[in-house]
Structure 1
């Protein structure tokens, strides 16, 4: 029987997976990527779409914050119209802890995250409908990501450099023999067994399920979060409530909408979980404490995403509010020498996650080529219509940015 063959098989078509495929293809490696439901159909396309400055994590995890600001700066250079530069404010309201505000601002300065302090009047000049309870804020270089464009542009560059991208090809089984993955059974448009020298598990919240097919234990602890997009025109910066992370503490501006979020509720199954109305109500209520008009703004759409959290890290760190780093799990340590899983992390740091993973793969394959993705612009970055054509090509439209992507200019 003739089977599909590739040097590296990447499983998972979110930002990290396509980032790995792009990175490896630019290094001259033959790559095949498979995804079950269209690119960006998992966590990447169901986020709030924030390009973090690192300020959210500054006082709790300096390393994670440094990663964010570095990747923030790289993406601004390479991603073009995948990014909307809005800036962000960390807002202190009456009753919020002033010591927390000072600690976060000081941590940003120590890390090198640019900040500008604003008094209440200056905040109102930036956001004229901000709460009357605002006391002060500081500005940081947050921005908005359009994840559908970002993922599709990475996939297009990978394809242009020889990668095979299959957006509707679910993995059905992983065959392991003598300590190696010897084949991956794939359905959908592939409907074949793929033989690969190396396998990258970038399945996000579903990484544990894929690993289990190979007899491996990757313990995930996914949590769901709701995003509520409401009609709201003209919000300038991202609004972050400057307090310990909690439900409804961020408002992300789009052109004629504002995305309110989010919650954090543990789920057993990332494919099958309740979507509770209280999450919607609480997110709107809490965000309205910063921006009162959103309390009565018409809801355009609501969606939930599932975070791909790694259970051992969650156990060690103690849950919500701590920066979620990423983990590169080399399964040679577990008896399967040609497979790696990459879990955790944030959309902002997807490129770094991909680089780290690609470095490991190249080391295992004895490939000396180095990463180019930090300096190489994404295709179509200055042409929104071309970016949106990539989204169509790879069936990559998610709810996060559907009000922007593909809309007539």
Structure 2
């Protein structure tokens, strides 16, 4: 006698299913919901726990990319200003310094400064003495300083506020709902099987916003999304009173960013390729090198007490034709992949690459493409309307708990009332 095991799925239907609850995914859900689209978002174990919640939380001014990536730099300064307007207590407006040490290339500093001016990124030269009025503990080796409008993002609050805003506009948010398979019918993705008693979700369109895991979800749809994730370490240390983001003015390298929180700093970071964004080794040399390099411009980093250390994985998109020979050379730009045009798989869009600073812009671009597919004419309004409870830190932190957001990047801030 044969026994047939049958799986019975509970059926849910939605116009758009967004897979991935990081900054970009939850931003897409908010954008589409504000246009009147029926949206469901699923993630596999709490929102913002992937790349978003394990980032260093730098709100880029664009200066980091100014001399090498004009388009990326302009995107950053535009989104920097938008997030300051809409994100309230999800952002700390610190400003930032780019610092040239004695052995760093003066031509690089000059090129960056001129590029900032060319791209409308506010930049002001300061003497080391002027900079030390704000940051007394700067290295004695500082030779030139440039002030730019960098800032700090608190990723947990940002995701929570965006999720609450999406829900307030009608989206369904399921933080603990891992996708186990995608369903296809005649070359079209029509939905997903979702674990943890959610069942089957039928959708007119499915969005792959899974970041470094985009290749894995792409495999379920039968398409190749060429990701090349890299890991980077962040070290949190006790230090009270730093009020500026510090950047080393040199080609991007290990240990060239210091991010201020109220009573801590976050040092970052390294860039090492990994095969699997879930399973990868970490190395002590990454911690040691990051501390050593950050201490070269900010000496207290050499001996400050470490409160936590964590690694994040960047969602770098690197198709074969765009290979550059090194992880740091891969574009930090974002891409919206229409798999109908690209792979003849309809009903499926991937959003890959990008930075936390540009997550809203990424979400708008993806939502525009999907709205066009669904014949939705309502434009995006996410750049104009403030996020839900954005000026209320206590409400934001309660939402962080509600949405099961447990990222280490701002663990010292959540619940502090700051």
Structure 1 pair 314/402, CA: closer, same or farther in 2 (3 Å)? Answer: farther
2:260 aligned partner: 253
2:349 aligned partner: 340
Number of aligned positions between the proteins: 408
2:317 aligned partner: 310
2:131 to 123, 126, 151: 123
Query: What is the deviation of 1:406?
Result: 1.4
1:397 to 396, 400, 406: 406
Query: What is the deviation of 1:41?
Result: 0.6
* Separation of aligned partners in 1, 2:34 and 2:201: 21
Residue deviations 1:150-201, cap 9 Å, x none? Answer: 01111001111111100010000011121111231000252x0100000000
Query: What is the deviation of 1:321?
Result: 5.0
* Separation of aligned partners in 2, 1:321 and 1:180: 35
1:158 aligned partner: 166
- When normalised by structure 1's length, the TM-score is 0.98
Query: What is the deviation of 1:212?
Result: 0.2
Query: What is the deviation of 1:265?
Result: 0.2
2:70 aligned partner: 62
Could you list the runs of 5+ residues in structure 1 that have no partner in the other structure? none
Query: What is the deviation of 1:124?
Result: 1.5
Superposition RMSD in Å? 1.2
* Separation of aligned partners in 2, 1:189 and 1:229: 37
* Separation of aligned partners in 1, 2:260 and 2:141: 21
In 1, are the aligned partners of 2:238 and 2:265 still within 8 Å (CA)?
yes
Q: Which deviates further from its counterpart, 307-316 or 380-389?
A: 307-316
Query: What is the deviation of 1:316?
Result: 4.4
1:356 to 361, 365, 385: 365
Runs (4+) of structure 1 moved beyond 2 Å? 316-319
Matches within 5 A, 1:84-233: 84-190=92-198, 192-233=199-240
Q: Secondary structure at the match of 2:212?
A: helix
* Separation of aligned partners in 1, 2:326 and 2:274: 17
In 2, are the aligned partners of 1:57 and 1:322 still within 8 Å (CA)?
no
2:396 aligned partner: 387
Structure 1 pair 408/141, CA: closer, same or farther in 2 (3 Å)? Answer: closer
Structure 1 pair 307/87, CA: closer, same or farther in 2 (3 Å)? Answer: same
1:301 aligned partner: 308
In 2, are the aligned partners of 1:245 and 1:321 still within 8 Å (CA)?
no
In 2, are the aligned partners of 1:176 and 1:183 still within 8 Å (CA)?
yes
* Separation of aligned partners in 2, 1:361 and 1:133: 51
Residue deviations 1:76-123, cap 9 Å, x none? Answer: 000000000000000001110000000000000000000111012112
